[in-house]
Structure 1
Amino acid sequence: MPVEMLQIPTADGQADAIAAFPDHGERHPGVLMYADGFGIRPVLRDMAHELARHGYYVLVPNIFHRHGPAPVIQLPEHIGEEVRPRVMARLMPLIEAHTAERVLSDADAYLGFLTTRPEVGAGPVAVTGYCIGGLLAVRTAAAHPGRVAAVAAFHGPVGADGPGLLSELTARVHFGHAEGDMTPEALGELNRALDAAGVDHTSEIYPGTVHGFTMPDTDAFSASGLKRHWDRLLPLLDSALAGG
């Protein structure tokens, strides 16, 4: 199954990216995948490859492209708790510099690039994201209601922009929250906002998980959490992008 290195033209220069897709010479529904704050690395390539194996063209851009190609900072093979504070201290300025305006400008470029790939079929696409990428996924879906049919976010701060952003969503939604990130009370408040906005959604706390549970190269990893993530993500994409 091919995994390509690509360059996406944006308003602020070229964004490097990886793409994974089935090698059948056919066209497939497109999925824009936003990495977590640690960015593109072997684990994200594996995630993209696994999703592509189910029949999707998966594009993973380097959201920190303004600061250099991925990996923007050197990462250890395993991001354990003993090194996490040092790594995050270097990444936080990059995350803070990635303003909402930059997010939306890049999203325009990413979706434009994705939907014109010869391997991508006509029709709507989906957006998924992890950690901060979950918030980027929600912002992208809200800004492109006619193009994004499904959005999924895992252990991401999806409510950070308030209910106003959620009310702009027309895509089908799944939010998978870490138990360490979301209290039942906060979940109830978020889900009531989604209900009030008329969003077709599932939004749940994954039992026994902490922030970052989908990522096998961190101490946060939960095998059961990752399995639940696939069990929720794949049916969502299948139902939203069928025939895409």
Structure 2
Amino acid sequence: MTSVQGTAVDIPTEDGISDAYLARPGDGLPRPGVLLYQDAYGLRPHLKSMADRLAGAGYTVLVPNVFYRHGRAPVFELPDFIDTAARPQLWDAIGPVLQSLTPELATRDAPAYLRALSDRPETADGPVAVTGYCMGARLALFTAGAYPDRVAAAAGFHGGRLATDAPDSPHLAAEHITAELYFGHADEDPSLPTEQIDRFDAALTAAGVRHRCEVYGGAHHGFTQADTSEYDRVADERHWAALLDLLKRTF
């Protein structure tokens, strides 16, 4: 892996300024761009380390604070290690903020993030990839569906509520997606029951989307997040192998 440089950047959006983290290889050469969407805990040191790992593999990575309407990161007071037993207290603060980021707002923000990434001199010309975690998996789908000419590949890991009965369910974006997709589902995830997994895959298949969806046996929601008690090292390394394989095929 190459050396990595990380920088704080501000991204103008239609509704304000999103603070963000940019990671790229230290040689300064243009590299394929990757937009990384956060989980519900937000932009924090662990997500920056994930961006650094991707940058070390040869990509220019942007991680926006999608909760910027509620303040700059960290939006929430988080412990260094997030124990799921503390989630009831944390979710008193996180829940309303999460619910306020509607699909409409997320789709409105996405062009600013894509433009900020593509306009960087460290980003190679052409479409970018998107990856997302937890709620970020839904944001990746909305972005790939709304801006198919800008997104060449999209991935999502331990995403919840991907295929609900709601009129704005993420799986309904499938008909507009031209990117190749990879989704790694958590086996022990009440936010994504089997019927939603099946509905999600069926929607992608019916729309002719190139995709691969896998269920990570025994993994819990949040299995990629090493600063939480839901972390699963084996499942996390599987996620990295799948993500890097998708990016290699794309770029």
Does the Cα contact within 8 Å between 1:40 and 1:62 map onto a contact in 2?
A: yes
RMSD of aligned alpha carbons:
1.2
| Contact kept? 1:8, 1:109, Cα under 8 Å | yes
SS at match of 1:117: coil
Question: What secondary structure is seen at the aligned counterpart in 1 of 2:99?
Answer: helix
- Percent identity over the alignment is 46
In structure 2, the residue matched to 1:120 is 123
Q: Which residue of 1 aligns with 2:208?
A: 198
1:25 is matched with 28
- TM-score, structure 2 normalization: 0.93
Kindly report which structure 2 residues correspond to 1:63-212, keeping only aligned pairs within 5 A, or say none: 63-157=66-160, 158-160=162-164, 161=169, 163-181=171-189, 182-212=192-222
The secondary structure found in structure 1 opposite 2:234 is helix
Figure out how many residues of one structure are paired with residues of the other and give that number.
241
Q: Is the 8 A contact 1:187 1:204 kept in 2?
A: no
1:220 aligns with 2:230: yes
5+ unaligned residues in a row in structure 1: which ranges? none
- 1:35 equivalent in alignment to 2:38: yes
Q: In 2, Cα distance between the equivalents of 1:7 and 1:162? A: 27
> In structure 2, what residue type is equivalent to 1:66?
R
Residue by residue, what CA displacement relative to the aligned partner does 1:142-197 show, whole Å, maximum 9, x if unpaired?
Answer: 01111100000001133241542122211000010000124555433321221111
Aligned pair partner of 1:13 in 13, 16, 25: 16
Partners of 2:71 and 2:195 in 1: CA distance: 40
**Change beyond 3 A, Cα 1:12–1:198:** same
Name 1:2's counterpart in structure 2.
5
